[in-house]
Amino acid sequence: MIDFKDRVAFVTGGANGIGIGLVRALLAEGCKVAIADIRQDAIDKALTEVNNPNAMGVQLDVSSREQMAAAAEKVEAQFGVVTLLFNNAGVNLFQSIEESSYSDWDWLMGVNLNGPINGVMTFVPRMIEHGKGGYVVNTASMASILAAGQPGIYNTTKFAIRGMSTSLRGSLAKHNIGVSVVCPGLVKSYIYASDDIRPQELMVDAKPVDKEGIERLAGVHDYGMEPDVIAARVIDGMKEDRHHIFPHPEFKDELREVFDEMLDDFRDYEQDPGYEQRLGFEKFRRDSYREQRKGLKK
């Protein structure tokens, strides 16, 4: 089981929503915590709120490799090596793919996918070298499994993060580094206001901001789960080294329905000439995947 006390945590998107919930929970577990966010005003507010010498702020845009590396240096200089990484920052665009522009893709892929990639590429080698184990938690979404016509780009990024998490979980176990992917449903957060932080250079061909739509979304997010509730469930999931952390139990039946529908798409085709030989290879792969899913830390 992961020990939290005195570890250094880096929480992207740590100034609002799920992130600030994680920050509070990690401080309560005895960690030193870096609140890493693009909004300096929100970082300042969060630091005032938590009022704890074990918290520090670091402003960055997670989509920048250079800024991620600079943030790592800053946090390491003040608190020591980060061994708990929370790739949590994310933005959303509530629209379908055919309504979207390349700059919409660049923005969401930059924050939601390159952000976690940059986090992993920056911090994981340091964690491995440090040799004290650690944990990577990637905030995906139920939208990493359930998709409809929109939000298309968001779904794409979240499916990808789930894939990255599963693969990393298999490869990092031998370094005693756990990996979980968090799949929340609706959260009481600020994500409906993502447009406020969209960089000017990624505004090309962006649709005008739908103010009424945002107000509606704000209302819906009001019914979202409290960040402190999610954070407690994330910590719980880490303590159990759970692959998927599903804070919202109300999705279980829907997942069963969707996976059953997926299985319904299989057909019992006639055996093709390579079938028997493939079975041998697939048995080997299947056994190895099963071991990795168990997260065996050798």
Ligand X SMILES: NC(=O)c1ccc[n+]([C@@H]2O[C@H](COP(=O)([O-])OP(=O)(O)OC[C@H]3O[C@@H](n4cnc5c(N)ncnc54)[C@H](O)[C@@H]3O)[C@@H](O)[C@H]2O)c1
Of 86, 84, 76, the residue nearest 19 (C-alpha)? 86
38 binds ligand X (CB under 6 A): yes
Q: How far apart are CA 70 and CA 76, in angstroms?
A: 10
Least separation in angstroms between residue 51's CB and ligand X is 19
Does residue 89 sit in helix, strand or coil? coil
Q: How far apart are CA 256 and CA 127, in angstroms?
A: 36
56 binds ligand X (CB under 6 A): no
The pattern of x and - marking residues 216 through 245 that bind ligand X according to CB under 6 A reads -----x--x---------------------
| 162 versus 175: smaller Cβ distance to ligand X | 162
| Subset of residues 68 to 127 that bind ligand X, contact rule: CB under 6 A | 88-91, 111
Q: Which residue from 17, 119, 170, 237 is in contact with ligand X, where contact means CB under 6 A?
A: 17
| 151 versus 173: smaller Cβ distance to ligand X | 151
* Phi, psi dihedral angles at 225 (to 5 degrees): -70, 145
46 binds ligand X (CB under 6 A): no
For residue 179, what are its two tokens?
A: 């990996």
For residue 115, what are its two tokens?
A: 């952000």
16 binds ligand X (CB under 6 A): yes
172 binds ligand X (CB under 6 A): no
Least separation in angstroms between residue 62's CB and ligand X is 4
Q: Which residue from 2, 4, 9, 19 is in contact with ligand X, where contact means CB under 6 A?
A: 19
Q: What share of the chain is helix, strand, coil (3-state, %, to 5)?
A: 55, 15, 30
Q: How far apart are CA 171 and CA 128, in angstroms?
A: 12
11 binds ligand X (CB under 6 A): no
- Amino acid identity, position 66: E
**Contact criterion met (CB below 8 Å) for 47 and 70:** no
Q: How far apart are CA 25 and CA 55, in angstroms?
A: 12
154 an active-site residue? yes
Q: By the criterion CB under 6 A, which residues form the site for ligand X?
A: 12-13, 15-19, 37-39, 42, 60-63, 88-91, 111, 139, 141, 184, 186-187, 189-191, 197, 221, 224
> Any idea which residues carry the catalytic annotation?
154
